[in-house]
C-alpha cells in the first residue's frame, strides 16, 4: 500500500511454502530437477528476494539453506519455504520456464501453497498482501485450485491453496 511505513524492527516470521511436483511427458527417468545448477537457482531466488547460503546433497535430495529459510530439490519435486517480505509466488512462471529449459518436456502435476496468517500483511509485496491475491495469482497459472482456511479467520489461522493438475 502506498504510504505504509515499515517498522524497521519488525520481521515477519510467517513462512510461505510452495511445493511443485513435476513429471516428464516422455515417461522416462531422465527428468531430474537436480540437474539444474546452483547459478540457475540463484537467479530464480533473486526474484524471490533471498539467496543461497549453503547446500547439502544426498542421493535423493539437494537441500539449500537460504537467507530467508530453505529450498529442497528432488528428482521431481521443488519445495521452497521463505519468510520475511519475500516474493515467493513471483517465481512460479520463471520456475516453469527454467524447468523447461534445463529438464525438457514436462508437466506440472501438483502445486501446493500455504502460509499462516501474517502479523503485518500491509508490509508484504502486493502479490502477498491478501490470501485472495495469492489464490488469484495461482488460479491464473493453474486450474482446479481449491483454497482453504484452517482456523478462525479473525484469529490465527492457516491458509492453503492446492491444485491437482493431474498425473
Domain coordinates in residue numbering, the chain: 16-164
Cell numbers for 21, please give them.
511436483
Q: Mean pLDDT, to the nearest integer, of 51-74?
A: 97
Distance between CA atoms of residues 134 and 146, nearest Å: 12
What CATH number does the domain located at 16-164 have? Answer: 3.60.90.10
96-152 pLDDT per residue, tens: 999 999 998 899 999 998 888 766 767 777 887 788 898 888 989 988 888 888 877
- pTM here? 0.85
The top-scoring range by mean pLDDT among 2-6, 30-34, 51-55, 116-120 is: 51-55
Where residue 12 falls among pLDDT bands split at 50, 70, 90?
Answer: low
64: burial class by Cβ within 10 Å (0-12, 13-18, 19+)? buried
Q: Mean pLDDT, to the nearest integer, of 50-61?
A: 97
* Mean of all residue pLDDT scores within the chain: 86
The alpha carbon dihedral of 141, 143, 144, 146 has a sign of: positive
More confident residue, 89 or 14: 89
Where residue 158 falls among pLDDT bands split at 50, 70, 90?
Answer: confident
Q: What percent of the chain has pLDDT above 70?
A: 90
Q: Which of 134, 125, 149 is nearest to 68 (CA)?
A: 125
Cell numbers for 40, please give them.
540457475
Amino acid at each position: 500500500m502506498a504510504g505504509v511505513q515499515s517498522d524497521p524492527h519488525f520481521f515477519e516470521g510467517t513462512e510461505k511454502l510452495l511445493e511443485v511436483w513435476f513429471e516428464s511427458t516422455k515417461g522416462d527417468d531422465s527428468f531430474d530437477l537436480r540437474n539444474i545448477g546452483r547459478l540457475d537457482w540463484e537467479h530464480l531466488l533473486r526474484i524471490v528476494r533471498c539467496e543461497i547460503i549453503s547446500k547439502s546433497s544426498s542421493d535423493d535430495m539437494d537441500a539449500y539453506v537460504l537467507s530467508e529459510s530453505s529450498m529442497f530439490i528432488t528428482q521431481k519435486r521443488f519445495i521452497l519455504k521463505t519468510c520475511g517480505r519475500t516474493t515467493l509466488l513471483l517465481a512460479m512462471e520463471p520456475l516453469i520456464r527454467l524447468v523447461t529449459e534445463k529438464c525438457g518436456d514436462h508437466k506440472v502435476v501438483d502445486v501446493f501453497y500455504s502460509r499462516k496468517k501474517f502479523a503485518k500483511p500491509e508490509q508484504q509485496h502486493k502479490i502477498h498482501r491478501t490470501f485472495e491475491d495469492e489464490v488469484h495469482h495461482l488460479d491464473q497459472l493453474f486450474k482446479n485450485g481449491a483454497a482453504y482456511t484452517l482456523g478462525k479467520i479473525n484469529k490465527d489461522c492457516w491458509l492453503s491453496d492446492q491444485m491437482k493438475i493431474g498425473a
